[in-house]
Structure formats: C-alpha cells, structure tokens
Structure 1
Amino acid sequence: MSYENILSSFENNVTTITINRPSKLNALNRATIKELHQAFKVADDDKNTKVILVTGSGEKAFVAGADISEFADFSVSQGEKLAAEGQALLFDFVAHLSTPVIAAINGFALGGGLELAMAAHFRVASDNAKMGLPEVSLGVIPGYGGTQRLPQLVGKGRAMELIMTAGMIDANQALQYGLVNHVTTLEELLPLAEKLASKIARNSSVAIASAIDAVNAGYEDGENGFDAEITQFGKCFGTADFHEGTQAFLEKRKAAFPGN
C-alpha cells in the first residue's frame, strides 16, 4: 500500500512506520493521522508482524506537533470533534493494539508528536531528542490524550509542570522521569529499537496481546486491572501458544509459538 505522508516497511517480523513530512518536521495533519491509522491497522492485522516501530524521517524530528494551520480558526464544537476523532482514529487506537508498538523518538516530539509516542507501549529516544507539550503557549491544551497519559508515565506533579510551563525536556531528563526507557545515539536508535523488537518477537504474541489488555485495564475508568489480569491469565490456558510454551519448557527446548 502506498502513502503520501508516511512510509511503511516490513522485515524480520517487524513493521516500521515512518512519518515522512521532513519539510514540516513531520507535523501531524489530518491526512497523516488517517494514513497512520491505516498503516497501524494493516500491521496489526498481519500475522507475520510481531512488533510495530514508529519513528520520524530525518534527524531533526519524530513529530514536531500538529499542523496548527488546519485548526487555527476552529469553533468550540469543531475543536471537540477534532480531539475526539483524533483520539479514536489514532492515539487510543494505537494504545489498544494487540501488537506491541515501540516509539523511536529521533529528535523533537512535541504536542501531538509526544502524544503519539506516549500512545505507544513504550519509548526509546536518541540523545538529541526534545519532548514537551507546548499547547498552552497557543491558548489550548493537549487534546490527543496528553493530559491523561503524561501523568500516568511521569506522575501528576511533573506532568503539571511540563504542561503549564509549555517547556521541553531533553532525552536524559525524559529517561530520569520514566518517559522513555532507553537513550542512545541517533545512529544506534533504530538498531536498539529493532533489538528490543527481536526480543519481543521471540515470545508468544497471544500472551503479549493479553498482557497489553491487562495492563491497559488498570488505567481505564470502570475497569479493574486485577480482574482483567485474572481473565486474561485464564484465557491463555486455552491457547496453542500456552501448550507449546509449557511443552517446550518441560522438554528443555526453544518454543516455536504458532500465534494462536
């Protein structure tokens, strides 16, 4: 499938999705959000894709924010619709994919860019990366889940400071905050992400999908994470992956998970 604003490639059970608008520092417009939704859906539906990597083209930006020119003259109702549709189409969609998503942050991840990275299941960053939610400097707030996911990741106080100051933090500060899991050089960023993806791909994709559901449940209103864990734990016992994994352990061999 061809896209105008993104690239998608597949190798070694990993689909890499690259936001490709370098002249706009990979800013998210509505067309790019739609293409990202489609690319993530295709990858998630592909049984051969065990991990999805998302990154930005070039060496300056993961995603430098949303395309402000698209909504500068919006009304209240249009603003609400923009946030609701964007969350449903991309950000919540990514967070709840059954396929693990790793964000490789290669430069600026601001506004909607940081919100996309936070929707991924975890993040790695290059040492030139800068992250922040500058929306209040424009008279608006993060609208793609930033006010919810940032406190979950770094704590309420730090999130409040970052949001209210509209400031940026560097990669090492993000690592200290727990916003990213690893920091490396720009040259080693994708190799590191691919190494992590390879480790994930060796495990049961069915069990990983259950784990994602259970972890997400603990952060959702009206859901009991412990109950979700019990349910997902039980479901695993009915899978071919569970049978293969336990038999391989008992037989002292590597598991060859069928993925069902």
Structure 2
Amino acid sequence: MPRFKDKVIVVTGGASGIGAATVDAFWQEGGRVAALDIRERPDRVPDGVRSYRCDVADETSVEGTFDRVAMEIGDIDVVVHSAAVLGGSGPFHQLSLDTWNRYIDTNLTGSFLVSRAAASRMVAKATKGRIILIGSVNSVASERGAAPYASSKGGMRMLTRSAAVDLGPYGITVNMILPGPITTPATRENFEQPETRRTFERVLPGGLPGSPADIAAAALFLASPESRFVTGTDLMVDGGMLAQILN
C-alpha cells in the first residue's frame, strides 16, 4: 500500500525543481497533494494534484491558501516548504537593504508564515503532523557573495529548532533538509559549464551534483512514521560536500 494514501500534503515551491519533484514523490505514494507556488507549473500536474497560487512572503496569501487547501482537500498532515529566493547577491559591502529584505522576507519570514499556518491547523485538529523545511548547505556555511541567502537559510535552521521545541508536546515534528548542489531547471545551465564541473569534481566526493529526487526522497522519510522520533534536526543531503576538508 502507498505510504501516504489519503494523507494531505502541502508543498510550497511546487512548480519546479525540488518542489515539483517532492509533489510527484508524495503523489506517487498515494498522497493528496496541494502544490503551492507564486507561478504556474510549466508542465501539467498529475491527476489528483491541485495547484494553488501562493506568495509565501505574504501572510494573507499563506493563510488564505491554507484555508482553501483544508476546505477543498482536507486537514493537512504534512507540509514541505521548498519555496525560496535563490542565488548570490554580490559583495557584502555593496548590498542594498532592498536586496537583503527580499531574501529575508521570502526565505525566513516565509518559512515562519508557512510553518505557523501548518502548525496552527494541526494543533486545532489534533493532527500529529510533519513540517519539513528545505534549507541549504548555506544554512551552516556561507560562500562569497551570498550573505543574504546564507543568513536567511541560517535563520531557518534556528526556526526549525524553535518550532520543534514548541510543537513537540502536540506530536508535531519539525525538521530541515540541507541540500548541496542540486541540478534543477534554474541551475542546469551553470552546472553544465566546464568550470563548474571541475569545481564539483573537487568539492564533491562523488564528483557530481544531486537531483531533486534525492531531496524528495529525504522528505518522504521525514514525513514517514519511521521518523517519529526525529525532530528539531537537519538532514544533510549534500553528497558529502561538507564532510571533507579540501587540501
């Protein structure tokens, strides 16, 4: 029997990349999936998946969308929060406040809004649910020209712990997945460049980036009964990148 038969799954950032792969993975496991995104998915969603427009940085949009999901699909069991502003932003001393706010508003405040919307409904329905945030290796280590992104993802890491502590008494687990380099429509062109390939050969023990399906598989585990005693922690899915010291 599919592991998530009749469970209601909400995936933000569900139109592409990691989010789309996560939508498909839960659907294949029998879940009733709501794919939330600020834009339409470029390909047709599978039958049984419902798409919703949602801006995770906007409280009204998040609350209204979660209300619609509960009304149209059912009480929410699992939330996987993948929506994010990605990429570098330039040297620290040249950053504008607008640039800083764009990353913080979507990545950190958006994580709070989505997690709170999920948690409040789970608590109200006595649902022993799962909240899974998609972070980054930049949650624990920065790189040049990425201060707002790394700061927002680092903040998400502490948000995960704080929410897990507060929600544990209700049987709700909160965890974070930290992807390393993942080939998506947004990264494919850069990842195919010879210089980038040489970098991966150096920094990744296996030499190759991961796929969105690798992150979706981690989300399936954290949403499963087998992860009942796992909460407030990170699952590093980075191909060993942060495990090695470069010579």
TM-score normalised by the chain length of structure 2: 0.33
Select the structure of larger CA radius of gyration. 1
Q: With a CA cutoff of 8 Å and minimum separation of 6, indicate the structure with the bigger relative contact order.
A: 2
